[in-house]
Structure formats: structure tokens, C-alpha cells
Structure 1
Amino acid sequence: MSRFKEVQDLVHSLEADFEKFYEAGNKAAGTRVRNGMQAIKNLAQEIRTEVTAKKNAAKK
């Protein structure tokens, strides 16, 4: 569950940058949003790999 908390924290940390980009048109905030979304994608892939490994280990 700590990995889920990491995802939540990362999403929450991007909230201000989303607002700055979409509401104020701040291009630097858009770059931070893109970088943060890439980090979320990578973390999600790591979690998927862990879940698959745990699921397959339970079958044995």
C-alpha cells in the first residue's frame, strides 16, 4: 500500500502546477506537469510489475 501512497502524493504535488498551466497559461508549470506525469507513468509500471509478480507467486 505504500506504493499507492507514493502515487497519491505525486498527484497531489502536481495540483498547483496543473492550475498554473491550465488557468494561468504558465508554460514552465506545463513542463513540470509533463515531468510529473512521466514519473507517475513509471511508478505505475513498477506497481504493475510488483502486482503481477505477487499474483504469479501466489499461484505456485
Structure 2
Amino acid sequence: MSKFGKLKELVSSVEADADKFFNKGNAAAGTRVRKAMQELKNLAQEIRNDVTSVKNSGK
């Protein structure tokens, strides 16, 4: 569950940069958003692997 908490924190932390990029055209904020989205992708994959592992260990 700690990874899920990190995922939620990361989404919250990138919200301001997403607003700066999409609404104000700040290119540097776009770079930060792209970096955060890559981290989200990696963290989501780790969570998926953990869920699969737990699910399969019950069989």
C-alpha cells in the first residue's frame, strides 16, 4: 500500500506544473510533467507486478 500512497502523492505534486504547462504555456513545467508521468508509469507498473504476484501466490 505504500507504493499506492506514493502514486497519489506524485499525482498531487505534479498538478501545479500541469496547470502551468497547459494553461500558461510554461515549457519548463512541461518538462517536469513529462518526468513525473514517467515516474508514475514506472510506479504503476511496480504496483501491477505486486498485485499479480500476490494474486498468483494465493493459488
Instruction: Compute the TM-score of the two structures, normalised by the length of structure 2.
Output: 0.96
TM-score by length of 1: 0.94
Q: How many aligned residue pairs are there?
A: 59
Deviations 1:2-58 (A, max 9, x none): 111110000000011001001110000000000000000000000101110111001
Provide the aligned C-alpha RMSD in A. Answer: 0.6
What amino acid is the match of 1:25?
Answer: G
Gaps of 5+ in 2: none
Equivalent residues in 2 for 1:1-60, closer than 5 Å: 1-59=1-59
Q: In structure 1, list runs of 5 or more residues that go unmatched.
A: none
